[in-house]
Structures are given as C-alpha cells and as structure tokens.
C-alpha cells in the first residue's frame, strides 16, 4: 500500500449559513477527503487550494510527484495542467475586448485575414466557445500524434490552417459545441497578430510577471526549472507513466502550461478581484450563452459554464487530471468560491469534476447541495450494503431537503453513470437499484438498472428489467 503524506494549511474559521466551522474541523475534513480520493481512485499525487471571498480556506498536498523516486508533492511542486492553458488565452482575449480592440461577434478573419475560406465568417466568440465547427488538427492514438502531414506537427500555425483548408466544417458555426484544440490555435494566432509578439512573451508580459507567477512556464516539461510531477495514466487499474506530447510553440495556447497550485491561485484570485479583466466586463461575458439551435452552450467566453442552485460555475479541466472552478452569486462582488484540484494521474482515470465536487461537498455542503449529494451517493455505492445504510441514505435525503425534489432521480442517475465510468459497473449497480426503489414508476430508472446488469453479463436479469421499463413507458 502506498503511503500518502499530507500537508494542510487552514486559515481562519469558515462562516456558513449553518454556523461557523472551525479551522481544525475543516482541516480534518479536507485531509479525510484527500485520503478518501487517493484510496478510491488510486491518485498518485494531488494538490488542492480553496478560497472563499478571497480568504484562503484550505491548501493541501498529498502523495508522490514521482512514484519511482517517491518524491512527495509539496505546495511548490509543478504540475502539467494541460488544457487549463486555454484560460490564459480567454483572459487575454477578454482584455482585448475590454480595450475595444477585439469584437467577440466579429469574424476572426477581421484580425486574421489568411484563415481558410470556409472559416472567414466564424466569429471570435464561436472560436472561444468551441462552436466554430472547425476540424481537429491532430489525433492522438496509442501514444502517437497523427496529423494531416504524418506524425510530425507542421512547422507553423499558418501551415496547420492551410492543411485544414479543404476539410469540411463539422457543423454550421454557432449551432453546436465540439471541443477542438484548433479553436485555440486560431485565438493564439489572433493574440500574436494583435501584439506582434510570440504568444509566450504575451503571457509573460501580461499575466505571469504582473502576478508574480514565478513557478509557471509554457513549453516542454524538460525546460521547467522547478520540481515537477511525472504524469501517470491508469491502465488495467494500475498507474503507468505517460510522457507528454512534444507540442510546438504555436500550441501553447491550449497545452504545455506547467504551474503550481499557488500560481494558479494567483491567477484565479486576480480574475475574481477584477485585476486582469474588470469585474463589470466579466459579469457581462460570464453569462449563459445560447447556440443557434436554441440549446445552451457549455461554454461562456471560453470557460466551461454551468449553474448549480444559486451559483454559477466557470472553469476548465485538464481531462482527468486537473480542474479549476470559480463559483459565484450576484456577480463576482457577491459570494465567491474558487477551487483548484491538481493531480498527476490516477489508476481509475477519475474525471477531475468528481474530485472538485468532493471538495465542494466538504467545504460548503449547504451552498452546493448537488455536489454534496454526489459525494454522499458515491460513499453509499462503495460501502457494504445493509438495510440500515439504505435507510440512513433515505433519511439523509429527507433531512437535506432532497427527498421530494423532482431532479433527484436525474441526479442519482448522473452519479451512477459517473461511478460506472470511474469505479466500474458493479460499484454503480447499488445506486441504480436505489433509484429504481425511490422511483418505481420511472421507465428510465429501470432501464438504467437493466443496463448495469447487461454490462455485468446478467442477461436474464437485464432482459426482465428492460421489459419492465418498456411496459412503464408504454403505460404513460
């Protein structure tokens, strides 16, 4: 069994609607949650930092940066943060919008005239929100990069755009979201055209140096002058080393960002204080955005966007390894939390959303009931099943005001599928059975339960439950 070293720093007491949580109590909760996550998902190393209204609530590190040398993670350990790099691009574009130098709803070709013909009418906002329809410029298969020009990246971004000129759009711009790195190649090139400087220099001058982010860099991990984590991926339930892609410099707007939990905290704190982009501008830009088909976009000016209760969430992930999130009400001058969760990989390849949700459940369960529910359900799925535990879960739902909420069935279903993906179908089965017990007239609840049995190879039970689901659907 790997031993995990924990360091936690808690400042002040935390005021919540349900009372004041003392620092020592929150310290114990956060430490327990990191232990829990490490044990559940096989996390190699992790670093967490949480703020509320600018006040540091918790900072904790756990595990190992390098499983071979057993180098522990410290608050100064550098992590590869992958697509969190896109948040820097978004902030820099928002600065240009605020300065009146870029219009979000103007075609990006106004600033980059040499974009492919089919891209000429795509707006800056559509590129930011992955609503452009442009194709991906590479594929990653079995540890190898495949581009239209073979296994080597083109020399320049202009060559990438030229190579994609004949490829059809994936959809009409503005009508859907499809996440591609190509979107941020365009935005990186736009910033370079605006400043007439290499992108790395723009970031250094306008973000890293002003915020004293001295442990942050763009480029290969081999160039990082500080202690850095080794990246791991889960293969057949075990951790295996995974070397990063040798990204060209034009890709630094979507990858190759190496930073610490403290430096990333400086970036988020500067944003929430209005130091990089004015709060009024952020309030205007971090709004729900609709696609052309009337559906809500999953992004808002490049940030993942969702709503949970009274809060709006903006943030981004780096796949299964890292995530940053800001939760706020009434604009950034209201109640505001920031959450940073960095890992260097897990045996289960747990999605970073699940990890951040678990810290939200610890720090502010009353403010974030959906996330508290998720953590409680995951705990139930993994503990020994007894009638008493099931009764306790039902009572917990009633006590926390969830027993009769119409979204409960959907929420349990959502968590069930997350557990199935991260921990296996056998672990998820009790959640779907519990949902069917709570909602016996729901065709969807029985259909999902049948799906779990089918995945586990119990064809007879799956067939019986599918039939029940169809009968309920037909009776509506």
For 22-46, the pLDDT digits (tens) are 666 777 788 889 999 999 999 999 9
**Would you state the torsion angle of the CA atoms of residues 443, 448, 454, 460, taken in this order, to the nearest 10 degrees?**
-30
* Residue in this structure with the two tokens 């736009």, named with its chain if needed: 190
Mean pLDDT calculated for residue range 291-316: 94
Beta bridge pairs of residue 337: 52, 327
Q: For residues 46 and 64, give the distance between their C-alpha atoms in angstroms, rounded to a whole number.
A: 8
Q: Where is average pLDDT lowest: 139-148, 282-291, 292-301? A: 139-148
Kindly list the distances between the CA atom of residue 210 and the CA atoms of 202, 213, 265, in Å, as whole numbers in the listed order.
Answer: 12, 8, 14
Of the CA atoms within 13 Å of residue 431, those in its CB half-sphere come to: 33
pLDDT digits (tens, 9 = 90+) for 348-401: 999 999 999 999 999 999 999 999 999 999 999 999 888 999 999 999 998 887
Q: For residues 301 and 307, give the distance between their C-alpha atoms in angstroms, rounded to a whole number.
A: 15
Tokens of 438: 């709570």
Q: For residues 467 and 187, give the distance between their C-alpha atoms in angstroms, rounded to a whole number.
A: 51
pLDDT digits (tens, 9 = 90+) for 242-266: 988 889 999 999 999 999 999 999 9
Per-residue pLDDT, 223? 85
Confidence at 404, pLDDT banded by 50, 70, 90: low
Per-residue pLDDT, 330? 80
Written as one string, the DSSP assignment of 180-246 is: -THHHHHHHHHHHHHHTS-HHHHHIIIIITTTT-TT-EES-GGG--S-BPPPEEEETTEEEE-PPP-
Q: Is 147 exposed, middle or buried (0-12, 13-18, 19+ CB in 10 A)?
A: middle
Q: Where is average pLDDT lowest: 202-211, 274-283, 328-337, 343-352? A: 328-337
Per-residue pLDDT, 25? 76
> What DSSP designation does 474 have?
H
Per-residue pLDDT, 141? 64
Q: For residues 192 and 187, give the distance between their C-alpha atoms in angstroms, rounded to a whole number.
A: 9
Please report the domains of the chain, with CATH numbers, ordered by start residue: 1-367 (3.40.710.10), 369-476 (1.25.40.10)
Is 41:346 a contact under the CB 8 Å cutoff?
yes
User: Quick one: which of 85, 65, 66 has its CA closest to 75?
Assistant: 65
| pLDDT for 21 beyond 70 | no
pLDDT digits (tens, 9 = 90+) for 420-475: 999 999 999 999 999 999 999 999 999 999 999 999 999 999 999 999 999 999 98
pTM: 0.92
pLDDT digits (tens, 9 = 90+) for 73-107: 999 999 999 999 999 999 999 999 999 999 999 99
| pLDDT for 215 beyond 70 | yes
Mean pLDDT calculated for residue range 182-208: 98
Per-residue pLDDT, 403? 62
Beta bridge pairs of residue 338: 51, 326
> Percent of the chain at pLDDT above 90?
81
Kindly list the distances between the CA atom of residue 319 and the CA atoms of 82, 332, 461, in Å, as whole numbers in the listed order.
Answer: 8, 26, 35
**Would you state the torsion angle of the CA atoms of residues 372, 376, 379, 385, taken in this order, to the nearest 10 degrees?**
-170
Is 220:179 a contact under the CB 8 Å cutoff?
no
Hey, which bits of 55-102 come out as E strands?
55-66, 71-72, 79-80
Average pLDDT over the chain, rounded to whole?
Answer: 91
Q: Where is average pLDDT lowest: 41-45, 210-214, 233-237, 464-468? A: 233-237
Of the CA atoms within 13 Å of residue 358, those in its CB half-sphere come to: 24
């Amino acid at each position: 069994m790997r031993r995990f070293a924990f360091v936690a720093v808690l400042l002040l007491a935390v005021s919540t609607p349900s009372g004041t949580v003392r620092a020592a109590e929150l310290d114990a909760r956060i430490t327990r949650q990191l232990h829990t996550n490490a044990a559940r998902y096989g996390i190699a190393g992790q670093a967490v930092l949480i703020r509320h209204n600018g006040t540091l609530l918790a900072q904790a590190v756990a595990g190992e940066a390098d499983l071979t040398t057993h180098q522990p993670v410290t608050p100064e350990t550098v992590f590869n943060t992958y697509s969190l790099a896109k948040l820097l691009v978004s902030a820099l574009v928002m600065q240009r919008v605020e300065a009146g130098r870029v219009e979000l709803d103007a075609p990006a070709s106004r600033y980059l005239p040499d974009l492919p013909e089919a891209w000429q009418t795509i707006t800056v906002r559509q590129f930011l929100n992955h609503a452009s329809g442009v194709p991906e410029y590479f594929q990653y298969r079995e540890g190898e990069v495949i581009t239209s020009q073979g296994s080597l990246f083109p020399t320049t971004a202009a060559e990438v755009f030229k190579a994609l000129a004949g490829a059809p759009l994936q959809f009409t711009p503005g009508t859907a979201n499809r996440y591609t790195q190509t979107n941020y190649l365009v935005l990186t090139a736009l910033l370079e055209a605006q400043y007439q400087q290499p992108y790395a220099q723009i970031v250094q001058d306008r973000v890293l140096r002003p915020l004293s982010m001295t442990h942050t860099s763009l480029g290969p991990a081999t160039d990082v002058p500080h202690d850095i984590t080794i990246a791991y991926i889960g293969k057949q339930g075990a951790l295996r080393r995974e070397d990063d892609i040798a990204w060209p410099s034009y890709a630094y707007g979507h990858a190759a960002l190496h930073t610490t939990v403290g430096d990333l905290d400086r970036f988020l704190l500067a944003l929430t204080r209005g130091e990089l982009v004015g709060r009024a501008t952020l309030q205007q830009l971090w709004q729900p955005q609709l696609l052309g088909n009337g559906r809500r976009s999953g992004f808002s000016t490049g940030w993942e966007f969702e709503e949970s209760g009274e809060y709006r969430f903006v943030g981004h992930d780096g796949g299964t390894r890292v995530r940053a999130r800001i939760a706020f009400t009434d604009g950034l001058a209201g109640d505001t939390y920031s959450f940073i969760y960095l890992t260097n990989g897990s045996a289960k390849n747990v999605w970073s959303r699940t990890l951040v949700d678990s810290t939200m459940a610890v720090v502010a369960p009353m403010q974030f009931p959906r996330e508290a529910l998720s953590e409680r359900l995951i705990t139930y799925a993994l503990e020994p099943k007894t009638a008493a535990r099931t009764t306790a879960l039902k009572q917990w739902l009633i006590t926390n005001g969830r027993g009769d909420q119409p979204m409960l069935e959907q929420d349990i279903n959502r968590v069930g599928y997350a557990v199935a993906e991260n921990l296996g179908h056998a672990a998820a089965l009790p959640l779907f059975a519990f949902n069917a017990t709570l909602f016996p007239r729901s065709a969807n609840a029985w259909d999902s339960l049948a799906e779990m049995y089918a995945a586990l190879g119990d064809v007879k039970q799956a067939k019986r439950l599918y039939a029940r689901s169809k009968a309920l659907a037909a009776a509506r």
